[in-house]
Chain A
Amino acid sequence: MSQYYEHYRKSSIGLALIDSLDVLIQSGHINPQLAMRVLAQFDTSIAEALSNRVRSRATFRARLDNYRSLDDVWTFVLSSPTFRFENDNVTADKVKIVACKAKVPGEA
């Protein structure tokens, strides 16, 4: 089984999952090993869902404050970005982008 990225665990849904697993562990309903398995499964499922089930596109422009590339992971810190979705514009003060190298399908 190929390795999937774990950075999606930092999303809202990932953090919510971790919180729930924490509560379950503290109450003794599951053990930490099982929780690790669940998170690994989360990594797989979120990657599959994002690549196969999401179809929307976006564009954005911003000022680049900070950039970093290490171990095939790009990290950008943008200021005053504007995001454009299908008939939706969103702006923010600051945004951080964490991007891992895209995996070629069928490769580990």
Chain B
Amino acid sequence: SKINQARAPVFQAPEAAAGTDNYAFEENAYDQAGAASTPTATAASTTAASSTTAPGSASSAASTATTAASGSSTFVAPTPPQPVTYNYRVEQAPAATLANVASTTLPGDSSAVGRPAQHVPPRSTAGSNANSSTRNSISLPGGGREGSDDEDNSDIPQNDGAADAGMDFETMTREEMDMYLEKRYEEAQKVGEMSFTLTLSDRAARKARREGVLEELTMGGQLDGEEDEDDDTGLGSDLDDSDGDMDEESDNIVLCQYDKVSRTKSKWKCVLKDGIMLINGRDYLFHKANGDFEW
């Protein structure tokens, strides 16, 4: 009954979100089906799984926010199979929706200060590989300049009681991670309200993928047997030729708009406007620019 209670009020809000990113919610369902091991979680997940995918996932995602009501929590395991969409889409929609859902289903809970913070997995904008914030902490789309290398988890005051300073998610095996998740889940049961996300930072995810660690995690972690999307041949995978050329961003970049781009044989001409340039560490602005390139 509590679960139904949790499901009923949240159907309005996530439906709009379910339209935007069904893919991400599918992922949530898969993760929850695989990871849920205790009876209460099983009850919630079977109820969720028995309904259609989108609303079921929406309710399970919603139950993350309404854990006080339902007493169960969901957690999103690391998402190894989709390093690409992980970078681009997955984080943005769930984060925004979870915040929305939280605000609509818990009336009177006006301030977010002091509540356990909603974790948003790191994310970088499409095509960009700007350094993301520290793993296991919130960051915004676009990432920040300081990567996980610069910040120490223990320096940041954490309101939600997470004690992850010593954890090294990138090198844990699946068994260790399972035990860690169970431990966190049990803690949450006592507290009554928890929501957390384990993700790898962008850099770590790419590195892990290259070193084949993520493959191992992928193979072990799929308990429901469902083969998620392409891993090897997805956009931006390591198989792309000369993708490394386009990926480095620590150097000079020009962000602008183009009026016209034209070419004659191998001579390119472009008319650009409203640009910001970062060159040799200095910023320049222009209102209009003309470029002549030889290909």
Contacts and interface: CB of A to CB of B under 8 A. Distances in A.
A8 B142 CA distance: 10
Contacts of B112: 28, 30-31
A1 interface: no
Interface of A: 5-16, 18-19, 21-22, 25-33, 35-36, 39, 46-47, 50-51, 54-69, 74-78, 83, 85, 90, 92-103
A54 B286 contact: yes
Given A10-B128, A27-B156, A100-B257, A32 B277 contact: no
Given A28-B113, A32-B140, A66 B286 contact: no
Name the prevailing secondary structure of the A interface residues: mixed
Interface residues of B, number: 69
Contacts, number: 215
B257 A57 contact: no
Interface of B: 95-96, 99-100, 103, 112-114, 117-118, 120, 125, 127-128, 130, 133, 137-146, 156-159, 242, 245-246, 249, 251-259, 261, 268, 270, 272-280, 282-295
A76 B293 contact: yes
B286 A98 contact: no
Given A25-B138, A39-B141, A75 B274 contact: no
Given A60-B291, A95-B254, A50 B274 contact: yes
